[in-house]
Amino acid sequence: MTDASAPADAHWFDWHPGRLDPSTTAESLIRELPGPVRFRLAGRDRSRRRALTTLLHGNEPSGVRALVRYLVEGRTPATDVLGFLGAVEAARVEPFFSHRFVEGGRDLNRCFRAPFRGPEGALAQACLETLSAETPEALVDLHNTSGRGPAYAVVTETRSAHDALATLFADHLIVTDLQLGTLFEATTPLCPSVVVECGGVGDPAADAVAYEGLCRFLESDSVTTDARHRLDVFTHPVRVELAPGQRVAFARRPVPGVDVVLDPDLDRHNFGTIIPGETLGWITEDGLGSLQVRSASAVGPVGHLLTERAGRLVAAATFRPLMITTRADIAESDCLFYAVAVAPRRPEATASAR
C-alpha cells in the first residue's frame, strides 16, 4: 500500500501516497510507513504549493487521520502540496498514538532551531531546508491538545494572512512571542505559518476540525487573503511550568510526597476565566517553588498568578488558562498550562479585543 521505500536522505523517506485503499486507517498507515516521511500531492495549479505538516507529536492523531481520509477520498488539491509526517516511530509505540516522542528521544517540535542536535535535530534541519528551497505560499501544522478544549490556531505574528489561515480551522487565535524551537516559528519568515491545535486527543470533534479545515486549506483557491470570520485573540500567554526536576500528580486530594497536585478536571477551564481564590489543586507549603512562569524574556516565580492557601493551590489573579494538560508526563516534559492575564475591571481590553 505504501510506496515509501527509497530514503530521500538519511533523515526521512519520500512517500508517494496516491489514492489510498478505503480500508486504510491512520493506524494501518503508521504501521506501514518506514519512518518519518516527506510526501507530495499534485494539485490543479502545478505552479504553486502549500505545506502541510502533522504528527510532529506521536500522540496527536487528528492531522494524520484527516490526511488519510483525504487520500482515501481521492480529492484533488488546488495547488501542489508538500507534506511531512514527523514522529512516525513515536506514534506506533503501543498503544498507538500514546507517545509524544520515543523514550530517550527529544520532542521533535522543539528541535527546529540551531544547534540541530541528534536525529530529531537532523530531521528538523532537513525539513526546514526543503521548505526553504520550495517556497510554499503557506504552511499549516496540525496538532492535538492533551486536555479538552476547542480548536485554536497559534501564530507568532499578527498579519492578515495568518488570520485567514487560522479561520480555515478555528475561532480562537493565540499570538505568542515564546521561542520554543517549534516548526512554525522557523517557517514564519519563509511563508505565513500557523499551528492548529484541533482539539483534544480522542475527541471526534477534533478529527472533524482537522478534516474540514484540511479540505479548506488544500482546496481553496486562496488561503491567505480573506479571514472567514472574526477571531477571539489571546496575546502573549505565559507558560506555567514545573521547576526543573519537580513532579506533578493529577488527583482530587493531596498526594503524599508530591508538592504540586492538580485537579484532574482542570482542563474544563480551557479558554475560560479563572478568578482570584479559585482552587486549582493542592500544594505543600514550600510547593510554590516547584512552579515557575516563563515569558518570552524571563523565567520567574509564579506568585502573581498562583498562591498557596491552607494547602490549596489557588489563583492569585484573574487569568484565562489555555492548553491545560491533565497528563503528568506532558506537564513534566512541557508545561502545565498557558495563561493570559486579565485586567480586573476591563477583561475585554486584554483578552479578546480585535
Q: How far is the CB of 184 from Zn ion (least distance, A)?
A: 11
Using rule CB under 5 A, residue 57 touches Zn ion: yes
Residues 6+ apart with CB under 8 A from 138: 50, 51, 161, 165, 191, 192, 193, 217, 223, 224
Q: How far is the CB of 57 from Zn ion (least distance, A)?
A: 4
With residue 81 as reference, give the H or E element that holds it.
Answer: strand 79-85
Site for Zn ion in 6-45 (CB under 5 A): none
With residue 32 as reference, give the H or E element that holds it.
Answer: helix 26-32
Site residue total, Zn ion (CB under 5 A): 3
- Nearest CB to Zn ion, comparing residues 198 and 218: 198
Q: How many CA atoms lie within 13 A of 336 on its CB side?
A: 28
**Residue given cell 486536555 in the structure block:** 147
Site for Zn ion in 130-189 (CB under 5 A): 143
Site for Zn ion in 293-312 (CB under 5 A): none
Q: How far is the CB of 101 from Zn ion (least distance, A)?
A: 10
Which residue type is seen at 32?
E
Q: Which stretch binds Zn ion (CB under 5 A): 14-22, 50-58, 232-240, 265-273?
A: 50-58
Is the distance from CB of 167 to CB of 156 less than 8 angstroms? no
Q: Which stretch binds Zn ion (CB under 5 A): 51-59, 82-90, 150-158, 308-316?
A: 51-59
- Nearest CB to Zn ion, comparing residues 55 and 280: 55
Q: How far is the CB of 327 from Zn ion (least distance, A)?
A: 12
CA distance 87 to 109: 9
Q: How many CA atoms lie within 13 A of 334 on its CB side?
A: 25
- Nearest CB to Zn ion, comparing residues 198 and 260: 198
- Nearest CB to Zn ion, comparing residues 144 and 220: 144
Q: How far is the CB of 143 from Zn ion (least distance, A)?
A: 3
For the record, the C-alpha cell of 352 comes out as: 479578546
Q: Which stretch binds Zn ion (CB under 5 A): 5-13, 58-66, 151-159, 167-175?
A: 58-66
Fill in the DSSP letter of residue 160.
Answer: H
Q: How far is the CB of 231 from Zn ion (least distance, A)?
A: 20
Q: How far is the CB of 215 from Zn ion (least distance, A)?
A: 21
Is the distance from CB of 332 to CB of 262 less than 8 angstroms? no
CB atoms within 10 A of CB 348: 9
- Nearest CB to Zn ion, comparing residues 202 and 254: 202
- Going 244 to 125 to 61 to 145, the CA torsion angle's sign is positive
Binding interface with Zn ion (CB under 5 A):
57, 60, 143
